[in-house]
A and B are shown apart, each in its own frame.
Chain A
Amino acid sequence: MTGMTAFRNTWTIFQREVGAYFLSPMAWIVIFLFLLINGITFRAFCHVFAGEPRQITRIVESVFGFSLFWVLPLSPILTMRLFAEEKRTGSMELLMTAPVTETQVVLGKFLAAQKFYFLVWLSLLPLFIILEVLGSVDWGPILSTYFGLFFLGVLTNSLGLFASALTRNQLVAAILSLSGNLMFFFVALSTALFPADPALKRFFHYVSFTAHFDTEYFSGIIDLRYMFFYLSFAALFLFFTVRVVEARKWR
């Protein structure tokens, strides 16, 4: 199989999955609620920080800081369907009897989840544009936060895809990946457990996926070492996913 075919197959799966997001009501409900809740909190922050020093920067930070809570459920919601549903309805059989490989299917689905995930975050942009109109926004931290969110998504979406491949029940898939996300989240808190051991503390800081937002992204810093961490975990999860999809052949 040539590289061209591999790319085309991945692209075909990707396009179908992106289409499937927009054809299902779930995507619209997620975006609607995301915008509604963020809009309300944005309005609240504008009120709270009105007239204070650095008010625009603090509003931006608060909006992002608050929406980090969305990271936990967002990927599980977006990825739970991807394999579980195909397994439940049996369409997996039609998919895998087409001349495509497991890797192409996994990559196509992952990229679709990644695209939709990032679109959800991009939908916050109008809030910052409003701020820009009213005052002056420092776009550096916004850009670096988006950068961080993108790579965080690489990690959580691959984890979610893996969970979805494990089961034919979407809810089980969502619970599994939510638990996985929570684990990474709590790792950030465990840095406090080892105040005396700088090596452990550094390690936990390194693998925690929320710690970097406070200390780096919000200040406009992008540290490529963390990107490497996200990417290597994602590669691992995607590799596991391919293996799980192939697993029907092992029995």
Chain B
Amino acid sequence: MIEVSNLSKSFGPVRALDRISFRVEEGEILGFLGPNGAGKSTAMRILTAFLPGDSGFVRVAGYDVQSESIQVRRSTGYLPEGVPLYPEMRVLEYLRFRARLKGLSRSRRNARIARVMEESGVERVKRRVIGTLSRGYRQRVGLADALLAEPRVLILDEPTVGLDPEQVRQFRQVLRQVGRDRTVILSTHILSEVELVCSRVVIINKGRVVARDTAANLRQRFGSAERVVAEVAGSMGQIQEALSRDPRISRVQATKGDMYHRFSILGSGDDDLGAAVFRLVRDGGWLLRELRQETTTLEDVFVEVVGRGAGSPGASA
């Protein structure tokens, strides 16, 4: 549905995108991840035919963004970063304007407007002036606009920036619903968002794709060594010493408590770290209250992948 191959883009001396390639299959929700300034917005502007790339090619919904830009724009719904809507217009008025601009026929217009207002939950504010709406509602109006022409592809640039946690949760729900029969690219630097809604992830840093896989696979691939958190009662110094001495454990971080101390333990290999810690505590005759295995989050993957890219440029491309 979306095919990006060897896309590069420079702004003067600054290389915003450096030969990035990725594909999005029909019906997928792709998380487009990267720190601020990684080139996410530039990539999305090229995908929506707002800016041209310098080299490489991009096809969206079967059309070339450069030579068939009008068709690309017809089949794409776009929510730019910051949701720049006309503040002086009322919600309904704005959606009517956009529906006409997108070439919806008179007969289809009203039905579609009613439908997207329901889908995005803006029915309640349809007579309000956009400038007086909260950030969350403006975001939804932007989404309603993006959905108007029943696009096969939805491109959302940082759609949850500036929303409070409850609004983020609601937005995610809406997104899951509208993403059911659409191809979606969602850019963000909030990782939990990607884990919750995206089937696949592309991570870019400094204009390059540094990782490209499903969230689960990435977690596995980049999951650093196992980590276990244990709460143990006894002499903190003795416990820490016993743990540190074990060859299966590479690092121990202790936090003193009233009675139970908290140890964050990093393993050195693939061994069953939890069992090893349990045995050590039993042998020392200490009291164990909690033993918990921590799984690698996408956050860890992200920090690792992006950090590595920064440490040795080009190594991960």
Contact residues of A with B, CB < 8 Å?
1, 5, 8-9, 12-13, 15-16, 19-20, 23-24, 89-101, 248-249, 251
Interface string of B9-34 (1 = CB under 8 A from A): 00110000000000000000000000
Q: How far is the CA of A139 from the CA of B136 in the complex (A)?
A: 57
The smallest beta-carbon distance between A148 and chain B, in angstroms, is 33
Main secondary structure on chain A at its contact with chain B?
helix
13 pairs of residues in contact across A and B, judged by CB atoms under 8 Å? A1-B70, A8-B100, A16-B86, A16-B89, A90-B80, A93-B45, A97-B49, A97-B78, A97-B80, A98-B98, A99-B102, A99-B103, A251-B12
* Alpha-carbon distance between A70 and B51 when the two chains are bound, in angstroms: 39
- Choose among A12, A19, A94 the residue that contacts B100 (Cβ–Cβ < 8 A): A12
Closest 9 CB pairs of A and B: A90-B84, A91-B84, A23-B88, A99-B73, A97-B48, A12-B100, A93-B80, A98-B101, A89-B84
Residue from B11, B45, B73, B88 in contact with A98 in the complex, judged by beta carbons closer than 8 Å:
B73
Instruction: Give the A-B contact count at a CB cut-off of 8 A.
Output: 68
Q: Are B88's CB and A24's CB within 8 A?
A: yes
A1-B70, A98-B73, A99-B73 known; A93+B101 contact, CB < 8 A: no
User: B interface, how many residues as a size bin?
Assistant: 20 to 34
Minimum CB–CB distance from B74 to chain A (whole Å) comes to 5
Residue on B with the closest CB to A91? B84
Using Cβ atoms and an 8 Å threshold, which residues of chain B touch A16?
86, 89, 97
Chain B residue contacts of A99, Cβ below 8 A: 70, 73-74, 101-103
Interface centre among A15, A98, A100, A101 (most CB of B within 10 A): A98
Specify the chain B residue showing the minimal Cβ separation from A90.
Answer: B84
Do B73 and A91 touch across chains, with their CB atoms under 8 A apart? Answer: no
A89 to B89, CA, bound (A): 15
List of A residues within 8 angstroms of B82 by Cβ: 90
Cα distance, A251 to B97, chains bound together (Å): 30
User: B163 within 8 Å of A by Cβ?
Assistant: no
What residue of chain A has the Cβ atom nearest to residue B93's Cβ?
A19
What are the residues of chain A within 8 A of B81 when measuring CB–CB? 90
Q: Is the pair A249, B97 in contact by a Cβ cutoff of 8 Å?
A: no
Q: A99-B101, A100-B101 are in contact. List 16 more A-B contacts (CB 8 A).
A: A1-B70, A8-B100, A15-B97, A16-B89, A16-B97, A89-B84, A90-B81, A91-B84, A93-B80, A94-B84, A94-B145, A95-B101, A96-B50, A97-B50, A97-B78, A99-B73
